[in-house]
Amino acid sequence: MRILIVGAGGVGGAYGTLLHEAGHDVTFLVRPHRAEKIRQNGLTFVSPEGRRTNEVSCLCTGEEGGPYDIVILATKAYGLDGALQDIRPFVTEQTRIVPILNGMAHIDRVNEMYPGQALGGIVKIVATLDGDTVVQMTPLITMTIGSLDENAVPPEIVNALTVPGFTLTVSNDIRAALWEKWAFIASAGIVTCLFRGPVGAIIEVGGLGAIYSAIAEGEAVAAAAGYPVSQAGHQGSLNLLTEEGSAFTSSLYRDVAAGHAHEGEHILGELAEQARNIGVSTPLLDLTLIQIRTGDSPIS
């Protein structure tokens, strides 16, 4: 199957590389400056297994290509609307679109523009773009997909995304899985953005109780929305966010600290709105949003 990866950053670059190395027909849809680098130098990927550079195909908006059987949206949430317009020339009615974004609002947005063509998608990876190099920072790399309606995920999609290098899971309740991830990344964002540092440092100065409270807030919103976090999901949050000496920080914190565009409104702002609508108190979430929005203010 022909696969289009929208974005070649940490997430898109990692998964796209592994799909390419498995022999799939993979193309990256990227901005012109990124395309120039990839065409000249290839796409370099550093994972716990080693460093390698692959010659891969890429496109820019306005160039001819496609159509594609699978489109994986690996942009940041604030780039979604532009990406949905950019993929139009490459999509047919048979194309399945897999957004692997944070939050939940993107599901409705994709369905508005491409009715019935979206699958739910979740990835778990700690990855970044170091210059032009995609770096996978820990061994964890998984993908979960699932149908958003009563139809099963087409078997050809499952086969195409089952490759060495990452674990693929097909979920029978992808909305619950999306909420579970949202609760976790929101809790991680609250902890590291509010206290401005890695988990280990926060614990060292007495912040463990606040970490438990942040996890509880995210999970309380999910439960009130009808998607309670599983025991395994809860334990996963505890394992990652309460480890003494841990250098873990959320990607949201890293973007905020670096002064980059960030997903604060998509991860935390939308969750706070959900909490208000269903009557859940989220004091730590609200404080974190005040801090982030203050930093973004033109007065700052």
Other C-beta atoms closer than 10 Å to the C-beta of 112 total 10
* Model pLDDT, residue 131: 92
pTM, full prediction: 0.89
Q: Strand pairing partners for 169?
A: 144
Q: Is 171 helix (H, G, I), strand (E, B) or coil?
A: coil
Q: Are 107 and 99 in contact (CB under 8 A)?
A: yes
Pairing verdict, β 133-147 and 43-47: parallel
**Which residues, 6 or more positions from 20, have their beta carbon under 8 angstroms from its beta carbon?**
26, 54, 56
Q: Tell me: cis bond preceding 67? Omega within 30 of 0 counts.
A: yes
Q: Are 105 and 134 in contact (CB under 8 A)?
A: no
**Which residues, 6 or more positions from 200, have their beta carbon under 8 angstroms from its beta carbon?**
243, 244, 245, 246, 247, 248
* Model pLDDT, residue 300: 67
pLDDT tens for the chain, 300 residues: list them. Answer: 999 999 999 999 999 999 999 999 999 999 999 999 999 999 999 999 999 999 999 999 989 998 999 999 999 888 999 999 999 999 999 999 999 998 888 898 999 999 999 999 999 888 888 999 999 988 989 999 999 988 899 999 999 999 999 999 999 999 999 999 999 999 999 999 999 999 999 999 999 999 999 999 999 999 999 999 999 999 999 999 999 999 999 989 999 999 999 999 999 999 999 999 999 999 999 999 999 999 998 886
* Model pLDDT, residue 288: 98
The whole-angstrom separation of Cα 114 and Cα 83 is 12
